[in-house]
Chains A and B, each alone.
Chain A
């Protein structure tokens, strides 16, 4: 059996050279498809891997807490006895100019140690190491002297720390702005000097690493008994440390879907070409059968080329994805999150996917289709009458002129070819609709994000003032989790405790303690009704609360449950009068010492904009990739139809038909195929996104609805038809190149 393989495989390089435009188009198609898929997946994976590795190297915290005064050493020793190693991470916020605040820490020794990208950690008393994005945005360079809180420091290091991947002042803040807020580190002596001088207010923050003997809830319990505990935050609930990953999942999931759909499209296009080749060579195949070749031998021969092409293109695609895709697609995330240098991570599962699944898909699909195609009898093949050839059966045509008759005959003869093209276009337009809807939905999310809450200011307060300031509404904000059986995961739900007669979400109609109103976004995310019972879980303590939704309020993006503040106090064992938030439509003049964070509608919008910006490149690449894939697919499939008709084209040329007439006959009907495909694919794509989008956004604790703006539909249609026009022009040239002697080849 080796003999035939050895000889027939010699055809492969010659076939590639003979059909170089086709081979190159398929190669480009696969390289782009898998370049995007693997660039996206490996890029996202690399970010996650880099952070995870960095957290191990830097001994990242398991949690952190603040106290109103420094803890006694005995408390720290007691914690250590319980396997909890806590380290001081005191800090002071120093305003450098009216717009910029630098949070100064003591250089860390054991927990959350700094990864220095450039320079060193602070050694001398006047050394300062600065978070790299803050330094970049404020044009601070190594060796430069800067004044911080009246002291002059020499910048001797730039880097990042794992507890501030997202450099925000407060964990409740929504967006980082490295121009106005950053973190810095001075050496121990210098920090002690600053602390003892007491020129600025210090926050007594501690970070801890837990060996697991105690749960985080037990750690919190001990601390609450021993000290006046302020903030307590376990790692998983710390947005500074976890935000990067949840954002990545949107495009990661979209990229996976893109890859799967592309794999189907690729196999489909290859099958079309293999079948075309077989039809062209039916006489040769018939002869081989006559001489004793078996079907498996020929099947093997005809799948060699597509499989080798796929293997080569996939490898190139992966390399392109790594070399170009990864840096391009991770650039926005790296620019936004404070991470050390990206370390490429080639997850074996993805590489296996890349190297096995596409060739395997091609092998399986080709074996099935080629076997079917080669199942014709030797005589049928010798007579060049493959079973699948469409036969015109209509004898009376609705058109009478020659062009019309030929066009009609061509269309009926190529009904199968047109259906093949329609399916190919459906899949490639679907990729375009998918990436556009990703873009549209995030743009829409940004647009409506500032209308998600009816108040303009939300103040998180540490110690409530005795009386609620005028114009403000007291509230309790408590983040709990809800399990979604649909997505098989937990989402963060903001339980907002409000006075019954509050101006934002009136709660007068609640009759039972456990009753709540829920946001329409929560209903959409969980797939529940506005009258259903569900459980909320405190992930820190494990406590569960059964809640009954009795109505809904509009909140386009946020996952909220609105509860009477007194009922919530009772539910969570808060004392009477307790609140941790003030809501207002106007700015409040509050004592800064107890304001933990201020969130305005602008902040909410900015956070949404950041998500769009960070994912923008990936979405853009998906869209560009989808457009190129569409162009290549329409070119290949239209060309395949022309290739099947070269004999007839040659004949008509001999009979004296001109270029315009030939275009009308052979390219005219394809316009309708593109039109039908466009209409169906847009409707189908939009419909499918209702099911896919919840999967894309499954890890986000916000609700993002699928949205495509009318101008985006217009853009999709414009792209499709502009591409079609370009391809049509190219194919007219191809028609021109069909030789008059083509007709003679069949006589050889």
Chain B
């Protein structure tokens, strides 16, 4: 298995109260697949993504990525882990406002030695005509595509997407999903997508449903539907 989680629990303390956000999560993600984490707000899906990406720590359990236990890594090595293996896409694009599209992508190119060609990425993402534009000159969908390119340029083996279509309209959302699908196919990137949109299930190889921090469903999708055909 590429990513393995075993008995992972995590709770947050606030105002003397402890809230369990991940409750004994045990699951695995295969290499080169698209996984979908579904669930209502507060179910722990973003936290699950964050602990896999090394942005957050866990209270107990083990998270292994390519055989490496990242739950016991010190902060400095977690940075290296994120640098070498992880690409993040968030609901908010967080592009640098005074860098052009091309520059926003270039900013992350140096982070790994096996980085991808920026022009090729721009081409794949259909962003070449916008390469010299600044974020404020782009639509939301274009900005998110730029954020995808920024995450992809370092050629990560895992792409973690937290509500990537949350701020997009239907058309842009669909275009982005098609893009993620084609990237997964082309680069064999393991993609984990957090969403509350059940309609995306069709495009994923693997689906996890969370509720109150615990896995309610965890199954493989045998009949894939191309992203272009998804409707909601």
Contact = CB atoms under 8 A, between A and B. Distances in A.
B131 interface: no
Interface stretch (B85-93, B175-183, B215-223): B85-93
A3 B108 CA distance: 9
Interface string B92-125: 1111101100010011111110000000000000
Contact of B96 (A11, A294, A378, A379): A11
Interface string A280-299: 01011011111111100000
B96 A290 contact: no
Given A15-B98, A284-B96, A748-B135, A291 B111 contact: yes
B135 A10 contact: no
Contacts of B53: 290
A570 interface: no
Contacts of A289: 55, 79, 82
A18 interface: yes
B27 interface: no
B183 to A, nearest CB: 16
B28 interface: no
A382 interface: yes
A382 B83 contact: no
A11 B106 CA distance: 13
Contacts of A379: 50, 55-56
Interface in A244-294: 281, 283-284, 286-294
A722 B112 CA distance: 56
B55 A2 contact: no
A285 to B, nearest CB: 9
A7 interface: yes
B94 A3 contact: no
Given A283-B92, A378-B55, A748-B93, A292 B80 contact: yes
Interface in A208-228: none
A10 B55 CA distance: 28
Interface in B156-172: 167
A4 interface: yes
B9 interface: no
A292 B154 contact: yes
Contacts of B61: none
A292 B86 contact: yes
B113 to A, nearest CB: 11
A748 B111 contact: no
B140 interface: yes
B83 A291 contact: yes
B148 interface: no
A293 B95 CA distance: 15
Interface residues of A, number: 29
Contacts, number: 87
Q: Kindly name the residue among A8, A281, A284, A287 whose own CB sees the greatest number of chain B CB atoms within 10 A.
A: A287
Nearest to B153: A291
B55 A290 contact: yes
A14 interface: yes
A11 B79 CA distance: 24
Question: Looking at chain A's contact residues, is the secondary structure mostly helix, strand, loop, or mixed?
Answer: helix
A7 B83 contact: no
Contacts of A287: 88, 90, 94, 147
A747 interface: yes
A748 B137 CA distance: 12
A1 interface: yes
Contact of A291 (B56, B80, B143, B151): B151
Contacts of B151: 291
A245 to B, nearest CB: 52
Contacts of A378: 55
Contact of A293 (B55, B111, B143): B111
Which of B80, B110, B140 is the most central at the interface, judged by chain A CB atoms within 10 Å of its CB? B110
Residue from A2, A292, A293 with most neighbouring chain B CB atoms (10 Å) = A292
B11 interface: no
Interface in A14-39: 14-15, 18
B64 interface: no
Contacts of B111: 4, 291-293
A747 B82 contact: no
B145 interface: no
B206 interface: no
A294 B75 CA distance: 10
B45 interface: no
Given A3-B106, A4-B110, A7-B103, A291 B86 contact: yes
B107 A4 contact: yes
A7 B82 contact: no
A292 B82 contact: yes
A378 B75 CA distance: 11
B42 to A, nearest CB: 15
A14 B79 CA distance: 29
B184 interface: no
B84 interface: yes
A2 B109 CA distance: 11
B154 A291 contact: yes
A2 B110 contact: yes
Contact of A11 (B50, B94, B99): B99
B109 A747 contact: no
B96 A3 contact: no
B209 interface: no
Contacts of A15: 98
B130 to A, nearest CB: 15
Nearest to B46: A379
B205 interface: no
B108 A291 contact: yes
Contacts of B167: 747-748
A7 B107 contact: yes
Nearest to B136: A748
A748 B99 contact: no
Contacts of A292: 79-80, 82-84, 86, 108, 111-112, 154
A288 B104 CA distance: 11
Contacts of B109: 3
B98 A286 contact: no
Interface in A80-130: none
B150 interface: yes
Interface in A361-402: 377-379, 382
B227 to A, nearest CB: 24
Given A1-B110, A748-B93, A748-B135, A290 B86 contact: yes
Which 10 A-B pairs have CB atoms at the shortest separation, nearest pair first? A292-B83, A3-B110, A14-B98, A287-B94, A290-B88, A292-B82, A283-B94, A7-B106, A284-B94, A7-B107
11 contacts: A8-B96, A11-B96, A14-B99, A287-B94, A288-B107, A290-B53, A291-B151, A292-B79, A292-B84, A292-B86, A748-B92
Given A4-B107, A10-B99, A379-B55, 6 more contacts: A7-B107, A289-B79, A290-B82, A294-B79, A378-B55, A382-B90
Interface of A: 1-4, 7-8, 10-11, 14-15, 18, 281, 283-284, 286-294, 377-379, 382, 747-748
